[in-house]
Chain A
Amino acid sequence: MTLHAPAGTAPSTHFDLPVDLTATEPPEHRGLGRDGVRLLVAEAASAPSAPGVRLAHSRFRDLGRYLRPGDLVVVNTSQTVAGEVDGVLAETGRPVVLHVATPTGPLPDGSWVLELRTAPDATRPLLDCQPGTVVRLAADVAVRLLAPYPEPADTGSGTRLWRAEVTGGRPLPDLLVRHGRPISYGYLHGRWPLADYQTVFGRHPGSAEMPSAGRPFSAELVTDLVSRGIGFASITLHTGVSSQEAGETPQAERFEVPAGTARLVNATRLDGGRVIAVGTTVTRALESAAGADGWLAPAQGWTELVIGPDHPARVVTGLITGLHNPDASHLLLVESIAGAEVTQRAYDAAVAAGYLWHEFGDSCLLLGARR
């Protein structure tokens, strides 16, 4: 592993994605509890006179040993809904798999955001579709591709995401409830029921993909943390489909930061406590609700915020996250919270110690040093 100097908006963290370390099924099917996955803790040393990174290998159920009374853990209450459904291209009859990034409702302009992938396992995106392409789904519902999303959407290798209109006798969300299944990618062994894609915090249906950072929490662990004096607060952010390809910016996502959460976050920070975001979704929501002075106010709507050098994280001081594709936007967000050195050391340690990757894999707690 090499540590690269920051250049422009490229993340400085670099690692090679270990294909053989993919978690191919939920941990419960590997004989573990939700909170039995591994936890890597990486923390910037607190004394400015002795810089460095402290690393620890643990289990997620022992998270409380690495947090302090007065810290606030912020979770996402979005529930995962079925966002994947089979279809056929109307023109050729070719089977395809449709991923709906807006499974519970369209964008404010009325259009839906979709991705077409190869059948039967959604292994690869179809990048050569054209505007006007029609995909027939069950129950006489069809979707017609209108334009690349977001515009301009040319990644240099074709168009992955589309704005589309839906026609037919049944609303798309109803069709997904009846005929859909959770979005999954080719690296999983088998298909898993929607329940495996929920976190204990899920209350509001709307995410196309599981807000997976919250998955290792169990009710017992939350009880343990609360008993230790660690606070909890919640936001809701409904995820779109993940940025699979390098260079794609994250999509707009619907979110809400309630007034009570804004108050708790401000109070925690004023008492010198840490705000621990469970996942990039929570980070995006909190930072979207921060004013120019960093003060948090209640907020709701769609956010297009991309956290990185141009918009560093100001509210979140710690991050719980799984291990994901090394795409630029994810790494820039992590570095913005944890710092480049903590991030690089954490990924190096995770690769070296054989941590499992992706939504059913192991977890990290990254704690940064504030400038």
Chain B
Amino acid sequence: MPTAVITGASAGLGRALATALAERGWNLVLDARRPGRLLELAAELGRQTALRAVPGDVADAAHRRQLAGAAAEFGALNLLVNNASTLGPSPLPPLAALPAGELAAILHTNVVAPLALIQLALPALTATGGTVVNVSSDAAVAHYPGWGGYGSAKAALDHLTATLAEENPQLRWYSFDPGDMRTEMHQAAFPGEDISDRPEPESVLPALLRLIEQRLPSGRYTNTAPELLAAAAGQAVAR
């Protein structure tokens, strides 16, 4: 069975993806900062597949080594999903009021940590010709007041992803922009506002799973990318 490492797995898109891959029998290495939520998820998914849940912060180098070590226990690594990220202060301040220390922390969690984890996992991923998904945002390409810190980090992550694809063409490298979702992070961006009109994270799973399973060319994909929709139509016709 293939093995995946998913960061930020206890909620939102990470949890939805972990659940979907568990149903498909993938071995899972899961990360989240809050141990309680991770324990619940492990009990649920442990009934379906083999997993290692490792509580901790991806910004912590020792924790990243634990994740790579847990993946090594499964013998091979096929997929790394850098899904954990931080929005920074809530409510989102304009750049004029974003403390430099906060920006450094956003960049550390959203850019430095994913690259560091990729570096640790690269030998194992190279051995399988594996896939890396870095979860991005439309804030990486569009410019919204208040989203400057987070958006610049996601833009940098996109840039790293594209460069890694040039440097390591034997792997698949994806920036995946899932669009707005009804998640805790999105709620933190709009504190006190009703976000119930946003779709559930499960709604973007079909697109994300197609990206992973069909080994499309490396690049940046949104959840409504024609390749992902066309692939679905093709599948339907093939049946």
Binding site for B on A (CB under 8 A): 46, 266, 269-274, 291-295, 317, 369-370
Interface residues of B, Cβ cutoff 8 Å to A = 34-40, 42-55
Known: A293-B36, A294-B36. A370 touches B43 (CB 8 A): yes
Assembly CA distance A293 to B40 (angstroms): 9
CA distance A266 to B43 in the complex (A): 11
Q: Are A46 and B47 in contact (CB under 8 A)?
A: yes
- Residues on the B chain within 8 Å of A317, using CB: 43
Contact residue among A272, A291, A292, A295 (Cβ-Cβ distance under 8 Å from B53): A272
Bound: A276/B188 CA distance, A:
38
A81–B174 Cα distance when bound, in Å, is 65
Contact B48 A270 (CB under 8 A): no
Asked whether A270 and B55 contact (CB < 8 A) given A46-B47, A370-B43, A370-B44, the answer is yes
CB pair B35–A293 under 8 Å, yes or no, is: yes
Q: Which residues of B contact A370 (CB under 8 A)?
A: 40, 43-44, 47
Q: Which residues of A contact B49 (CB under 8 A)?
A: 272
- Given the contacts A293-B34, A293-B36, A295-B36, A269 and B42 also touching, CB distance less than 8 Å: yes
Do B48 and A46 touch (CB < 8 A)? yes
**CB-defined A-B contacts under 8 Å, sample of 15:** A46-B47, A270-B38, A270-B42, A271-B53, A272-B43, A272-B45, A272-B53, A274-B46, A292-B36, A293-B37, A295-B35, A295-B39, A317-B43, A369-B47, A370-B44
Q: Contact at B53–A270, with CB atoms within 8 Å?
A: yes
In the assembled complex, the Cα of A266 lies from the Cα of B55 at a distance in Å of: 11
6 tightest Cβ-Cβ pairs between the two chains A and B: A272-B46, A293-B36, A270-B53, A272-B51, A46-B47, A294-B36
A260 to B219, CA, bound (A): 47
Q: Which of B39, B45, B46, B53 contacts A294 (CB 8 A)?
A: B39
Instruction: Name the one of A272, A274, A293 contacting B50, with C-beta atoms under 8 angstroms.
Output: A272
- On whether the beta carbons of B40 and A294 are closer than 8 Å, the reply is yes
State the CA gap A210–B211 with chains docked (Å). Answer: 58
Closest chain A residue to B48, Cβ basis? A46
State in angstroms the CA–CA spacing of A370 and B43 once bound together. 7
**How distant is the Cα of A273 from the Cα of B36 in the complex, in angstroms?**
15
Cα A69 to Cα B170 with chains together (Å): 36
Q: Given known contacts A293-B34, A295-B35, is B51 in contact with A269 (CB within 8 Å)? A: no
Expressed in whole angstroms, the minimum distance between the Cβ of A273 and any Cβ of chain B is 7
A69 to chain B minimum Cβ distance, whole angstroms, is: 10
CB distance from B35 to the nearest CB of A (A): 5
Q: Specify which chain A residues have a CB less than 8 angstroms from the CB of B40 in the assembled complex.
A: 294, 370
Cα A160 to Cα B42 with chains together (Å): 44
Q: Write the nearest CB–CB distance from A290 to chain B, whole angstroms.
A: 9
Q: How far is the CB of A142 from chain B (nearest CB, A)?
A: 51
In the bound complex, CA of A46 to CA of B54 (Å): 23
Within 8 Å by CB of B39, from A270, A292, A369, lies: A270
Contacts of B48 in A (CB 8 A): 46
Tell me, in angstroms, the Cα distance from A303 to B54 when the chains sit together: 30
Bound-complex Cα distance A266 to B36 (A): 10
Q: Across the interface, name the chain A residue whose C-beta is closest to B54.
A: A270
In the bound complex, how far is the Cα of B46 from the Cα of A38, in angstroms? 28
Chain B residue nearest to A296 in the complex (CB): B39
Could you tell me the distance in whole angstroms from the C-beta of A113 to the nearest C-beta in chain B? 35
Q: Which residues of B contact A292 (CB under 8 A)?
A: 36
Residues of B within 8 A of A270 (CB): 35, 38-39, 42, 52-55
Q: How many whole Å from B11's CB to the nearest CB in chain A?
A: 14
Smallest Cβ distance from A67 to chain B, in angstroms?
A: 13
Question: In whole angstroms, what is the CA distance A114 to B160 when docked?
Answer: 72
The minimal Cβ–Cβ distance linking B7 to chain A, given in whole angstroms, is: 15
Q: Which of chain A's residues have a CB closer than 8 A to the CB of B34?
A: 293
For the complex, what is the distance from the CA of A282 to the CA of B72, rounded to whole Å?
34
CA distance A274 to B43 in the complex (A): 7
Contacts of A269 in B (CB 8 A): 39, 42-43, 53
The smallest beta-carbon distance between A307 and chain B, in angstroms, is: 17
Residue among B38, B43, B53, B55 with the highest chain A CB neighbour number at 10 A? B43
Residues in B with CB closer than 8 Å to A291 are: 36
Chain A residues near B36: list those with CB within 8 A: 291-295
Q: How far is the CB of B5 from chain A (nearest CB, A)?
A: 14
List chain B residues, Cβ under 8 A from A294. Answer: 35-36, 39-40
Output the nearest chain B residue to A275 by Cβ-Cβ distance. B43
Closest to B53 in A: A270
For residue A46, which residues in chain B have a CB less than 8 angstroms away from its CB? Answer: 47-48
- Give the Cβ gap from B53 to chain A, nearest Cβ, in Å: 4
**Complex formed: what's the CA distance from A316 to B48 in Å?**
18
Q: A272's closest neighbor in chain B, by CB? A: B46
Closest to A371 in B: B44
Output the nearest chain A residue to B40 by Cβ-Cβ distance: A294
Closest B residue to A270 by beta carbon equals B53
- Minimal beta-carbon separation of A68 from chain B (angstroms): 10
Q: How far apart sit A269 and B54, CA to CA, in the bound complex (Å)?
A: 10
CB distance from B97 to the nearest CB of A (A): 33
Complex Cα gap A46–B43 (Å): 12
Q: Is the beta-carbon distance between A272 and B42 smaller than 8 angstroms?
A: yes
